[in-house]
Structures are given as C-alpha cells and as structure tokens.
C-alpha cells in the first residue's frame, strides 16, 4: 500500500507539470506571439520545463572575477540585459540556438538586448573562462543577466522560444 502511495505521489507532480491534469488552458495553446516587448504587453506564461531550473523569481548576482572576459564586461556596460548562450555542434545545442534566434529575429533584432552566442567547442579561452564564471555544468546553457548584473534566468538543456521570450520580457521590464 505504501508503494502505491509513493508511486502516486511521484506521478501526480509529473502529470501536473506536463499539463496532463490541467483543464484546457487556452492561453498556452495559442500559437500567436507578441511582436514587441513593451511594458504594456502581458508576457506569455512560462511553459513547464524538463531539466534545470527556469525560475525567474530568484535573481542572483553575477560574480565578476578577475578572469571575467572583457567582451562580457563590455556587454554589461551597455546598460541592457544580456542573453548568453553556450552551445556546441550537437543536435540539442543547435535546437536551442534556433529557438533563441527565433526570439532575436522576431523581437530584439536591432537593440534592447545584447545576445552572445558562444560556441564552447572552439579553443577560445575567453569563452571557457566565462563558462567557468557562470558555473556551466553542461551545454546548452542559457542565462539572462539584467541591467543591474543580476542573473535572472539560467537553464541547462532544451528550452523553447516562449521561455526565452519570458526571460527577456522580465529583464526588460523589471528594475533588477
């Protein structure tokens, strides 16, 4: 009997996160995406994710180190949110890169957010130092750093454009 209770207790949160027990949420089924990210638009809901945290509620400071590359420090000085994506040649990384580029092409091309697409496979020591500063465990790894040097979003593994859009919306419209 205890085994059944444990199995049920383990399965129900998974079903809730995947939407199997939800009640027809029309907002999450919409295929339309906003064309701008102004303060008056309502951000899309964050879809359930599988993998590392995609929590936007607990920012942490980005810890600059003496080894932090100048190109990243220069990006932070622009007083704009910075999206950093560490990727490689593997298929999962390429899928994530495509999802992030969708948001870039659709909404942020030309300003508002600094995008850094960093290929980790290269022998670039600066990229590897920055990966160490973010404590990247595995790739793909995506992070959004606010104007005030707060990491407001970070995620290993797959994410879709709606998660990226929500993180950037938060970075653009919060005073963190």
Predicted pLDDT at 57: 56
This model's pTM is above 0.85: no
By 3-state DSSP, what share of the chain in percent is helix, strand and coil, each rounded to 5? 40, 15, 45
Contact 166, 93 (CB under 8 A): no
Q: Which residues, in sequence order, are bridge partners of residue 156?
A: 141
Predicted pLDDT at 35: 27
Instruction: Give the start-end residues of each E strand in 106-149.
Output: 114-119, 141-145
Strands across the sheet with 82-87, in order? Answer: 60-61, 150-156, 141-145, 82-87, 114-119
Kindly give the confidence (pLDDT) of every residue in the chain, 176 residues in length, as a single tens digit, with 9 standing for 90 and above: 444 444 444 445 443 433 443 433 333 222 222 222 333 344 444 433 333 344 465 788 898 888 899 999 999 999 899 999 999 888 888 899 898 988 888 777 667 889 999 988 777 789 999 999 999 988 899 999 998 899 999 999 988 889 888 888 888 887 66
Q: 17, exposed or middle or buried, with CB in 10 Å at 0-12, 13-18, 19+? A: middle
At the top level of CATH, which class does the domain 44-173 belong to? alpha beta
The Cα–Cα gap between 125 and 146 comes to: 24
Domain positions in the chain are: 44-173
Q: 8, exposed or middle or buried, with CB in 10 Å at 0-12, 13-18, 19+? A: exposed
Predicted pLDDT at 19: 42
């Amino acid at each position: 009997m205890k085994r059944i209770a444990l199995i049920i207790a383990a399965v129900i949160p998974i079903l809730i996160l995947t939407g199997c027990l939800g009640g027809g949420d029309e907002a999450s089924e919409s295929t339309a995406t906003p064309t701008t990210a102004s303060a008056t638009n309502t951000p899309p809901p964050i879809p359930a994710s599988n993998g590392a945290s995609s929590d936007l509620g607990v920012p942490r400071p980005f810890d600059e180190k003496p080894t932090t590359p100048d190109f990243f420090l220069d990006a932070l000085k622009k007083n704009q949110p910075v999206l950093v994506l560490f990727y490689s040649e593997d298929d999962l990384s390429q899928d994530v890169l495509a999802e992030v580029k969708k948001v870039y092409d659709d909404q942020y091309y030309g300003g508002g957010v600094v995008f850094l697409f960093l290929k980790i496979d290269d022998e670039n020591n600066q990229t590897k130092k920055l990966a160490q500063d973010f404590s990247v465990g595995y790739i793909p790894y995506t992070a959004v750093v606010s104007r005030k040097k707060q990491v407001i979003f970070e995620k290993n593994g797959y994410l879709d454009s709606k998660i990226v859009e929500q993180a950037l919306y938060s970075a653009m419209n919060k005073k963190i």
